[in-house]
Structure 1
């Protein structure tokens, strides 16, 4: 019987972050959990495609845009379960055990990981707590927290939409809070944008975009204000 899990990673000029992301998947290979890794690239001009190939991933190239890339990766994947992961996120070593347990016991539920920033800043700890609380209470995890979902449920909710922004919010809203659980393992994501823009400024900017989306603003309009 083939391993159950296809991992889908959208990339765009991700040569600096992709190796750590891929290396963090090793526990899943050791456990016989991973069938394949699909890197859905949006036209990288750096070494991203070479890194993906050298580390054994299947490369899918297509239109630029995270929503489109996630959808293309899912279409190419063959596993009964899909794990969507950002290229600048690395999973803690216990992810494979927690994922395997979920696959065996909660086939009708999707899951996400606990958010952790790769930063020693005090503001990082504050934002992590707020984000994890939002994810648990409202069923709105960040895309950085990954998404583990069966192929059956993914198809049922319509998959990722080809939109320039908020594709992560759209799919978890389609899944619904009652079918989402948090796994007790960490998604350790890059803090580069927060360190560049300032923790408070960046977090408030993201919160404002989310609020506008929930109030009816289109992803296309919001994308013009996202950097």
Structure 2
């Protein structure tokens, strides 16, 4: 089964090679990789070319980039993966099992979240993310999203909004059609380290509550930082 991995980037040169290594090393699945860049100025574009993956430039904003990436590939299954997130070894085995099960044609899957930081604060945020995903059906975009093209298109795909594109699409998927795979997505904790774990967690909560209250995503960009 063909799988396209769509990686949105913006100044992700420090992470991209590490992100793509487990994807390109897959053996159970042979994925096609597309990096969709939003105007990097740190050599991300050159690095993507050196890593011999497909490359596309798109309007800046993760929603725009993800939508553009999905439109540019034709594989029957899609995996959306942030440019600062790497998948645990063996990810392709669990992804393949999900893809080949006909019951998952109208379901989507995410991975367990872990940070590249073993501090108690990082582990606490990861536990909260697990609860949020399990109980509320609101995983973080950092957890990846594996979905069939047919189901993705039936939902209307990613909306071209500057922030909250991950929340928007998983709400349309619905908690009962969302599966957490037995594998980890390990993401950069740089935002949390920069602002502090508690402050970043509260800021994320404020952005989420504001979005649910109807605040336009374009107004939330500055708040999110």
Aligned to 2:58: 62
Aligned residues: 223
Unaligned runs of 5+ in 2: none
| Residues 36, 58 of structure 2: 8 Å contact kept | yes
SS at match of 2:14: coil
User: How far does residue 25 in structure 1 lie from its aligned partner after superposition?
Assistant: 0.9
Distance 1:151 1:225 in 2: 33
Distance 1:54 1:82 in 2: 23
| Residues 29, 92 of structure 2: 8 Å contact kept | no
Q: Alignment partner for residue 96 of structure 2, among 100, 103, 113?
A: 100
| Residues 29, 93 of structure 2: 8 Å contact kept | no
> Are 2:46 and 1:46 equivalent residues in the alignment?
no
User: How far does residue 32 in structure 1 lie from its aligned partner after superposition?
Assistant: 3.6
User: How far does residue 77 in structure 1 lie from its aligned partner after superposition?
Assistant: 1.2
Distance 2:118 2:126 in 1: 12
Q: TM-score, normalised by structure 1?
A: 0.96
Distance 1:180 1:53 in 2: 34
SS at match of 2:224: coil
> Are 2:143 and 1:172 equivalent residues in the alignment?
no
Cα deviation, 1:75-109, whole Å, max 9, x if unaligned, reads: 11121000000000000002111100000112221
User: How far does residue 221 in structure 1 lie from its aligned partner after superposition?
Assistant: 1.3
Aligned to 2:142: 144
| Residues 10, 66 of structure 1: 8 Å contact kept | yes
> Are 2:203 and 1:218 equivalent residues in the alignment?
no
Q: TM-score, normalised by structure 2?
A: 0.96
- Counterparts of 1:54-203 in structure 2, within 5 Å, are 54-105=50-101, 106-203=104-201
Q: Following TM superposition, where does structure 1 have runs of at least 4 consecutive aligned residues deviating by more than 4 angstroms?
A: none
Unaligned runs of 5+ in 1: none
Distance 2:202 2:22 in 1: 30
Q: Alignment partner for residue 33 of structure 2, among 37, 57, 70?
A: 37
